[in-house]
A and B are shown apart, each in its own frame.
Chain A
Amino acid sequence: MELVGTSQKTVTAREAGLVSCTRCTRAWPIETEICGRCGAKLVSRDQTSLQRVWALWLVGIMCYVPSNIYPMLRTEQLFSVSESTIVGGAVELAQYGSYGVAGIILFASVAIPLGKFWAIAFLAVSVKQKGGFASQHRLLMYEVVEYIGRWSMIDIFVVAILSALVQLQGLASITPGPAAFFFALSVIFTMLSAQAFDPRMIWDVQADDDGAVVND
């Protein structure tokens, strides 16, 4: 069974002259600066949130580009040396018939990062615009981005495992390429960018819209 809050119109903490602690959900008078329960810094709406989101987002993209240009893996076998990029490695796997794994890699290393860049940009733009997407949809987007972002690290872990494991003197050896470094940075910065976003802003635009309708 679930207990849900009262069905009356939602009152936000800001409207009630309160500020919430986003870490421990405690309520304080709006001028309070530090949460007395958990010590978090309190802001009713994080005014610098969007700036930080965009800055970290930009660094994330800047790292993502070289991570796709440089090789991710360098494989030395008996008489041959081959270097593969992220996409190249996945295509190679698909040619050998491992479509499932190629799919996972393409999804985690290409689809998720690109989708994240788009989604964070969309959210950051949408909180400035009135109307448009429903808050529920944007919230869902935010939650998906927050949850799924970490999974992009999978490619880095695969490279780590492979390069540690495949060290057979003379027969075959695998070493990581520079792309691994850039890709890890890109994932970390996009995670930080998503964390910098203040989801409470999603609802403010809608609340303003509702207000406008009532006034008409």
Chain B
Amino acid sequence: MPDAAHVTRGPLEGLIICPVCDATYQLQRPKNGERAVCGRCHHVLIAPRAKAGMQMIAVAIAVVVLTIAASVFPFLEISAGGRSNAVSILDAALTFTEGPMLVLALTTAAFIIFVPLLRMLLTLYVLVPVVLDRPPARHAIRAFRVSEAMRPWSMAEIFALGCAVALVKVADLASVGFGPAFWMFGVLVVLVLVQDGFLCKWSVWNSLEHPKRR
């Protein structure tokens, strides 16, 4: 067995353990823009960025506004033989309405709209006090936990690709037009991806554990 003593000396707070492969390291905080990576499995442990907090707040606010707008305004419209139909994202999500399909409708709506929206609201709730150097909000830890647990279930970008596929499928059936919500949703997907890129989980946990006093 390798000698564990040299790695684990000092307080436990000074250690960081890779969640993927259980390797233990002495904590060395990287500078802004650098990354701390697990030597065994190359999982990114810490990736701080300068002003990440403020940028994330800005993006989150934009995402919340866009999500609400994009789910209400018409998204796509088709017309053929003098008849036309325009739908919003909410219509698309709630299309399965009979029996067990209703469950599917609610799940779809959650994946496309409510989970991404809730994640952004929770992010705001957690980050705003931290970035403004105030004590963390009540239940901020639980809020961030829920937000992280929902991450794989936020599927806006998959829905965007689904739109592209659906468009090709109906193209020979009818002519398709884009509503205002279509473009909002396009911007939205990019913003959500940018947001995930900014987030350094370790930095958030650390600042929740050691809030700055003023």
Using Cβ atoms and an 8 Å threshold, which residues of chain B touch A93?
168-169
A111 adjacent to chain B (CB < 8 Å): no
A3 is contacted by which of B37, B85, B155 (Cβ under 8 Å)? B37
Chain A count of residues within 8 A CB distance of the other chain: 77
Contacts of A4 in B (CB 8 A): 36-37, 39
B201:A24 contact, CB within 8 angstroms: yes
- Which chain A positions have C-beta within 8 A of B85? 165-168
B108 close to chain A: CB less than 8 A = yes
Using a Cβ cutoff of 8 Å, how many contacts connect chains A and B?
240
Closest residue of chain B to A154 (Cβ to Cβ) is B162
Interface of B is mostly: mixed
CB distance from A25 to the nearest CB of B (A): 5
Determine the chain A residues whose CB is within 8 A of the CB of B20 once the complex forms: 139, 199-200
> How long is the Cα–Cα vector from A67 to B101 in the complex, in angstroms?
14
* Further 15 A-B residue pairs, CB within 8 A, beyond A20-B24, A168-B174: A3-B34, A5-B39, A8-B6, A16-B7, A25-B205, A27-B12, A37-B208, A104-B165, A160-B93, A163-B96, A165-B78, A167-B85, A168-B83, A171-B83, A203-B40
Measured CB to CB, the residues of A under 8 A from B are 1-18, 20-29, 37-40, 77, 93, 96, 98, 100-101, 104-105, 135-136, 139, 146, 150-151, 153-158, 160-172, 176, 180-181, 184, 188, 191, 195, 199-200, 202-203, 211
- Give the top 7 A-B pairs by smallest Cβ distance, nearest first: A157-B162, A20-B17, A5-B39, A22-B19, A24-B205, A27-B15, A161-B166
Using a CB–CB cutoff of 8 Å, the interface residues on chain B facing chain A are: 1-4, 6-8, 12-13, 15-26, 28, 30, 34-41, 45, 76-78, 80-81, 83-85, 87, 91-96, 100-101, 103-104, 107-108, 111-112, 141-142, 144-145, 148, 152-153, 155, 158-159, 161-163, 165-166, 168-170, 172-174, 201-202, 205, 208-209
